[in-house]
Amino acid sequence: AQKVTQAQTEISVVEKEDVTLDCVYETRDTTYYLFWYKQPPSGELVFLIRRNSFDEQNEISGRYSWNFQKSTSSFNFTITASQVVDSAVYFCALRDSGGSNYKLTFGKGTLLTVNP
């Protein structure tokens, strides 16, 4: 069965600090898909990135970057020069190719607070 662990329940940083959110996953499948979503206080889950298991290339988008490491089953997310608007709950999610593969397995989320 698949599992996603976000060990950091809450992180608090001061604006302009860099912050890394950890995500460790478990799956028996060789083909799977990893996602990060952002949920600000307004409630909407905003899609940030999708990574396929066969694509280990890291990604950078502005201040955001993602480090996918199959060897350690991790898909970590780094925000560079954090801003107050980055304050949100961030969810890492996994979908593998087995079972009901419409279903996303979410981690418990990490609440990031960026203080001015």
Q: Which residues contact another protein by CB under 8 A?
A: 33, 35, 37, 42-47, 50, 91, 95, 97, 100-104, 106-109
Q: Which two tokens stand for residue 96?
A: 């593998």
With respect to another protein, which residue has the nearer C-beta, 37 or 68? 37
Tell the smallest beta-carbon distance from residue 100 to another protein (Å). Answer: 6
Q: Which two tokens stand for residue 89?
A: 């709950």
Q: Rounded to an integer, what distance in angstroms lies between the CA atom of residue 80 and that of residue 60?
A: 10
With respect to another protein, which residue has the nearer C-beta, 17 or 111? 111
With respect to another protein, which residue has the nearer C-beta, 1 or 102? 102
Structure-token match 């996602």, residue found: 35
Tell the smallest beta-carbon distance from residue 14 to another protein (Å). Answer: 24
Q: Rounded to an integer, what distance in angstroms lies between the CA atom of residue 101 and that of residue 4?
A: 15
Structure-token match 């999708």, residue found: 50
